[in-house]
Structure 1
Amino acid sequence: MKIARLGPAGHEIPVVYVSAWAGSEEVYDASSITADIDGAFLAADGISRLRSALAAGALPILPGAASLRIGAPLARPNNLICIGMNYAAHAAESGSAPPETPVVFLKPSNTVAGPYDDAPIPPGSRKYDWEVELGIVIGAEASYLNTPADAMAAVAGYLVANDLSEREYQLPGAAGQWTKGKSLPKSTPLGPWLVPADEVDPDNLRLRSWVNREERQDSNTADLIFDVATVVHHVSQYMLLEPGDVILTGTPEGVALSGRFPYLQEGDVVDLAIAGLGRQRQTYVRTPAAQATAPAADPVRRAEAAAGPSNGA
């Protein structure tokens, strides 16, 4: 089961994708169960209610689903919590030693965008960078958890995330600050789906990225320095985790910060994929100073994204 939100930005409806015959999928309208996919839905055992409704044949098929924009699978999260340098090779390419304790920072929740929406490059940006990451969706309140094993009960599911970062704003130098480099409009595309936790092995997921169909990142969550359980447990010692929060677990090596690749430019197309969690595609557009957002990608672009890079995912 894959949970998603379809429709224009700000007017998405909740849906469920379910495998059908010959590899096809049916898309069911879940609006009779919930008005949206958010923290309240997750806290009220919403995933189980969706499964029961599907089993009972109570959800109608959504006509024309393939023509609708795919939004982020979770309505604006309460918190976006990020783990930095959580792959040893990425820490090395960033010029840092692997951390001995998780590096934690926050992104504003208003940076969330759909997985196929056009991505605006900030005005004046010279070092805009991609980061494919596994996202953890919190489904139950958690604070001061006793052990990492306890943490898994708080996880509702997983999704694909792109933690876009402006390195010149982020890193030490002329006013370099992490918050500035991580807070830009539409800099956190999520989705396309939220996959329930009991259908995912988060410790063995291949994650990849491409820029203009050239591979940039190819790693596995088995290479995480701090695994999902450790991350959730650790963060719970410092803040109250609530249903609808999203934790981004860090990116592997292969970003532009490494010096091996150019930073993103207008017209570039970035694909990101995590096994079993789907793929994203963003086209990068230059943002005039007076323009805060960019238009969503059209259905043709989304159809191209579904085919993915020629070398697969």
Structure 2
Amino acid sequence: MTKTSSGLTAPFALARVDEGGRAWPALVAGDRIRPLTPAELGADDLNAFFADPDWGRLGALAEEGGEGWRPLEQVTLTAPVEPRQVLQAGANYRTHVVQLIVAGLTKGDAARDPEEARAHAERIMDARAASGRPFVFIGLPQCVVGDEVPLELPAYSQTHDWELELAVVIGRPGFRVDREQAMEHVAGYTIVNDITTRDLLFPADVGDIGADWYRAKNAPGFLPTGPFLVPAPFVDPSDLRVRLELNGEVMQDATTAELIFDVPSLVAGASQTAPLNPGDLLLTGSPAGNGQHWKRFLRDGDVMTGSIEGLGTQVVRCVAEGGAR
């Protein structure tokens, strides 16, 4: 999808431009963009660059004028990353999880009193925070797309939901890193909308087996990402406003200050099980205001506009399965 304005506050950012199905790395400065050759990048590709980023080199290029620069509105951007792993933090915004639990407990034949349901949900979140251990699950890298790709809503459900999230892009590889060193492994940040099919997340036919994260979250295109990657030196992830509008109406509006586990804790926690690779995505969780809460899910023709302070804006258009693109 072409961008008329970057909406960035950083001196520069990275992106990937889609030309005829091929993507090439690019440097964004203001409302200008220019391709990056391997020589200019100092690496064969973006993941190799993230392993040992030279932001000074790119900063100098961003200040240059001359040939190579194009208006941002003349190009089509795709997802700014190609992760080998997608790690996703769950239950990381207290209000969001309380809303989901209350919504589930106050419907059906066995519905609880709303106040009782809320008290139960609050106890769950108190225990979650006291555990000291973030809850992380995995997603499929093939679901990562740019917002130029329409979000096709599978016909097998009518409960496809939005979850706008701050996403960490891993830089230097890390395995079993301490919280104190965790930020040394962060290359930058981007925006991800973690689309979720609610009625598949806790299907009735599996009883107490648990959540079905695979079916609920991994349909094609269910991780719209970008459009930009903002370098870590330009971002303080501790208090960024996260905002999602559906057809112009605000649905999510919160800040990352509400995270139960902050970015260093998530990076350290995720690295305890498996090594983190350059370019991997680590989603930090979704704030309150999802469709489950509003009792309104995604429909054909919906437009989601998601923004995170300093990281730009993504616009995702929804189409019914098999519908016109």
- Do the aligned residues in 1 keep the contact of 2:25 with 2:46 (CA within 8 Å)? no
How far the C-alpha of 1:174 sits from its partner, in A, is 3.1
**Number of residue-to-residue matches in the alignment:** 282
Structure 1 counterpart of 2:231:
196
| C-alpha separation in 2, matches of 1:209 and 1:164 | 13
- Post-superposition CA distance 1:36-88 (Å, at most 9, x none): 75322211425444234445x498433354222111111x2110100001000
Structure 2 counterpart of 1:226:
261
Change beyond 3 A, Cα 1:273–1:65: closer
1:123 to 150, 155, 164: 155
1:18 to 13, 25, 29: 29
Q: Does 1:29 align with 2:38?
A: no
- Do the aligned residues in 2 keep the contact of 1:53 with 1:59 (CA within 8 Å)? no
- Post-superposition CA distance 1:263-290 (Å, at most 9, x none): 10111111110010011111111113xx
Q: Does 1:174 align with 2:205?
A: yes
Structure 2 counterpart of 1:306:
none
| C-alpha separation in 2, matches of 1:244 and 1:64 | 26
- Do the aligned residues in 2 keep the contact of 1:268 with 1:283 (CA within 8 Å)? yes
**Partner letter of residue 276 of structure 1?**
G
**Partner letter of residue 188 of structure 2?**
G
Change beyond 3 A, Cα 1:237–1:3: same
Q: Which of 215-224 and 166-175 deviates more? A: 166-175
The structure that has the greater radius of gyration is 2
Change beyond 3 A, Cα 1:120–1:138: same
| C-alpha separation in 1, matches of 2:52 and 2:66 | 18
Structure 2 counterpart of 1:214:
249
TM-score by length of 2: 0.81
| C-alpha separation in 2, matches of 1:284 and 1:274 | 20
1:256 to 280, 287, 291: 291
| C-alpha separation in 2, matches of 1:46 and 1:14 | 15
Query: Within 5 A, what are the aligned runs for 1:1-313?
Result: 1-8=12-19, 10-19=21-30, 25-31=31-37, 32-34=39-41, 38-54=46-62, 57=64, 60-63=67-70, 65-74=72-81, 76-95=82-101, 96=121, 97-98=124-125, 99=128, 100=131, 101-146=133-178, 148-175=179-206, 177-258=212-293, 260-288=294-322
- Post-superposition CA distance 1:91-113 (Å, at most 9, x none): 10121422233111111000011
- Do the aligned residues in 1 keep the contact of 2:193 with 2:224 (CA within 8 Å)? yes
**Partner letter of residue 167 of structure 1?**
R
- Do the aligned residues in 2 keep the contact of 1:112 with 1:186 (CA within 8 Å)? yes
Q: Which of 169-178 and 226-235 deviates more? A: 169-178
TM-score by length of 1: 0.84
- 5+ residue gaps, structure 1: 20-24, 296-313
Question: Percent of pairs identical after alignment?
Answer: 33
| C-alpha separation in 1, matches of 2:277 and 2:61 | 25
SS in 1 for 2:199: helix
Cα-Cα RMSD: 2.1
Structure (1/2) with the larger helix percentage: 2
| C-alpha separation in 2, matches of 1:38 and 1:15 | 10
Change beyond 3 A, Cα 1:65–1:218: closer
